[in-house]
Amino acid sequence: MAKGRKRTTNLTFMEKDKRLFQGISKCGKAITPLIEKYYNISQKRIDRFVKQGYLIKSSAIWENKSIMCYGLSEKGKKWVKNNIHTVNSLYKPARGATHDIALFQEYSKLSRKEQDLSLTETDISRQNKLSYASPVDLYIPPYQDESGIIIQGQAIEIITPAYSKDDIEKKAIYVEECLKTSNFKQIFVNYKHTREL
């Protein structure tokens, strides 16, 4: 028997994989504990996505521990563009992975409908520009639920220690004047913990 490279088979994307890739597209980074909790995808499967070039891994600090995080590779971005119609614009990653992981955590708590409807900061800023305000990380526009009830739009912002009071005020102005919602969820995050403000 000849020795050599093992043959790799292409992955078949399942619905839960598509939901994960949509989440990473809209949030930037994800970590295994959150992927397992919200998407029921094992570390072994994540490793296959890395091995086949769809995801790239890097290190980050989360809850005071060093951990591997995952983002989309160029191949992964291309796959998303061709296969997931609910992603308009890819999320522009923040300087620190902790911010993006916290955003992924909040995004993953949303209902599937809200995840599909959610708009990234890039999507939002294309629709509304204000020179004196800043768009938020994620916005879920108002929608009608299965019962016919209109659900108010929701804005989500991840706040790091690098944010000034002025930065936060500019986000609040944008939510009020452009997005026209009072439903503004602010999550404070640092490398040790996250908490809602």
CATH number at residue 171: 1.10.10.10
Tell whether 8 is covered by a domain: no
Report angle CA 101, 20, 158 to the nearest 5 degrees: 25
Which pLDDT tens digit goes with each residue over 132-159? 889 999 999 999 998 999 999 999 999 9
Range of the domain at 156: 15-196
Helices 32-39 and 43-51, interaxial angle, to 10°? 110
Q: Does residue 4 fall inside a structural domain? A: no
In a domain, 6, yes or no: no
CA dihedral 6, 80, 183, 156 (to 10 degrees): 50
pLDDT category of residue 129 using cuts at 50, 70 and 90 = confident
Please check whether residue 75 is in contact with residue 54, taking contact to mean a CB–CB distance below 8 angstroms: yes
State the angle between helix axes of 97-108 and 15-27 in degrees (0 to 180), rounded to the nearest 10: 130
Do 48 and 96 touch, CB atoms closer than 8 A?
no
Res 8: pLDDT:
62
Asked if the structure places residue 82 within a domain, the reply is yes
Looking at the domain assignment, is residue 36 inside a domain?
A: yes
Q: Which residue has the tokens 């659900």?
A: 151
pLDDT, tens digit (0-9, with 9 covering 90-100), for 45-86 = 999 999 999 999 999 988 888 999 999 999 999 999 999 999
Owner of token pair 């949303």? 110
Question: Residue 160: which of 145, 174, 171, 146 has the closest Cα?
Answer: 171
Instruction: Provide the β-strand partners of residue 143.
Output: 151
Q: Is residue 185 part of a domain?
A: yes
State the DSSP string of 111-125.
-HHHHHH-EEHHHHH
Question: Is 116 a member of any domain?
Answer: yes
Count the domains in the chain. Answer: 1
pTM higher than the cut 0.85? yes
Examine residue 68 and state whether it is found in any structural domain, yes or no: yes
* Burial class of residue 163 in the structure, from the number of CB atoms within 10 Å of its CB (0-12 exposed, 13-18 middle, 19+ buried): middle
pLDDT digits (tens, 9 = 90+) for 177-187: 999 999 999 99
CA distance 4 to 1: 10
Confidence (pLDDT) at 3: 62
